[in-house]
Amino acid sequence: MAMKRASASAFRALASSGNSNSSILTRELHASPGSKKIVGVFYKANEYAAMNPNFLGCVERALGIGDWLESQGHQYIVTDDKEGPVCGKYIDTKVYSVYMILELEKHISDLHVLVTTAFHPAYVTAERIKKAKNLQLVLTAGIGSDHVDLKAAAAAGLTVAEVTGSNVVSVAEDELMRILILIRNFLPGYHQVIKGDWNVAAIAHRAYDLEGKTVGTVGAGRIGRLLLQRLKPFNCNLLYHDRIKMDPELENQIGAKFEEDLDVMLPKWMFDKERIAKLKKGVLIVNNARGAIMDTQAVVDACCSGHIAGYSGDVWYPQPAPKDHPWRYMPNQAMTPHISGTTIDAQLRHAAGVKDMLDRYFKGEEFPPQNYIVKEGELASQYR
């Protein structure tokens, strides 16, 4: 078991150094048989929860693992409150009824496992980690770790993991959809229909085919590679930038060209006003990575001037986006809430992955290696 080995190495380190601080050792030794307290933080689906029995990523369904956890002798507390002090919810998974009990903060001191999602994340700060004396495991039902202070988690000896790959198809398909929506100038046409208008010229003057256009991805991991594969039949000029070059056979199969220096593919990185200004006029941008990588006002200004001909994505900063967030009102945008990785199919994968890791955790078994974000006090290589 990873946690047992980690406790042994922590003990050797402490013994050799003479350090009396046993916080890491204590965390790891708590990974023992017995009833565990698991807290899940998910968004509320309200009336939509009853519309699909596979809608598992909401507080009402709670990944569908409540009965199983209870049958194993564990306590499962579920809440949509991730900030406090608003009351949270306890889910009776047999009838999916909701009762007012405690907010997340009141469970921090004695929970063993925290499960949350990137779509409604419970923030695992250094302060919360200090309070969570029994916490051993933080799981993302999906992928992502922006909500976790990874350095603090590693220092405390926590295990942090995700269901790696569970959203790859969902996000790649979403990105392809957004590319087509932007390049075909789809949204103005849709708006015309619902307003009762009919003006073909207002749409056609900047609607293009995707064929023959240059599409570049910043990052070519699981999602980036799949997007490039999905784009190949459109006969685009495909470019990609990543820290690691693809295997030549895969690169040739996809038909994408590697740009080692990002400045070759883009005049500059897409952060601030100056760098956006160096992009080709009329560029279309799809950002499903992080809202914070873009200067919010610079994107607004460029969309207003036409320098950015279209901007789409499902990631915002901050998130959830406030009602007055300027991206909601800028022209030529096709923004949505953070939804790309939470399709019903993805939710089924999230739930299955979390259940598998919890089962392995209870049995003292290793997780799939790719799922680890923090393990035995070390961050996975991509997070260093």
From 167, 185, 332, 371, the catalytic residue: 167
181 is in an annotated binding site: no
- Alpha-carbon torsion, ordered 125, 131, 136, 142, to 10 deg: -30
* The residue to which tokens 């202070």 are assigned: 149
Quick check: 371 and 164 in contact, CB under 8 A? yes
- Alpha-carbon torsion, ordered 289, 295, 300, 302, to 10 deg: -100
From 319, 332, 347, 371, the catalytic residue: 319
Query: For residue 297, what are its two tokens?
Result: 């006002």
- State whether residue 366 is helix, strand or coil: coil
338 is in an annotated binding site: yes
E strands in the chain: 37-41, 75-79, 89-92, 97-100, 113-116, 137-140, 159-162, 214-218, 237-241, 256-258, 283-287, 308-313, 333-335, 372-375, 378-379
- Given the DSSP bridges, would you call strands 333-335 and 308-313 parallel, antiparallel or unpaired? parallel
CB atoms within 10 A of CB 92: 13
167 is in an annotated binding site: yes
339 is in an annotated binding site: yes
143 is in an annotated binding site: yes
Identity of residue 337: P
341 is in an annotated binding site: yes
Residue 341 and residue 380: Cα distance in Å, rounded? 22
288 is in an annotated binding site: yes
Paired with 334 in beta bridges are: 312
E strands in 147-243: 159-162, 214-218, 237-241
Residue 325 and residue 318: Cα distance in Å, rounded? 9
Which of 179, 242, 249 lies closest to 209, judged by CA? 179
From 30, 230, 290, 307, the catalytic residue: 290
Q: How open is the CA angle 254-258-261, to the nearest 5 degrees?
A: 160
Sequence-distant (6+) residues with CB within 8 A of 6 are 28, 157, 375, 376, 377
Please indicate whether residue 241 is annotated as part of the active site: no
Please indicate whether residue 61 is annotated as part of the active site: no
Query: For residue 151, what are its two tokens?
Result: 């350095």
222 is in an annotated binding site: yes
Tally helices (H) and strands (E) across the chain.
14, 15
SS (H, E, C) 209-227: CCCCCEEEEECCCHHHHHH
Please indicate whether residue 290 is annotated as part of the active site: yes
223 is in an annotated binding site: yes
Residues of the binding site for substrate: 143, 167
Residues of the binding site: 143, 167, 222-223, 242, 288, 314, 338-341
- Active site positions, annotated: 167, 290, 319, 338
Residues of the binding site for NAD(+): 222-223, 242, 288, 314, 338-341
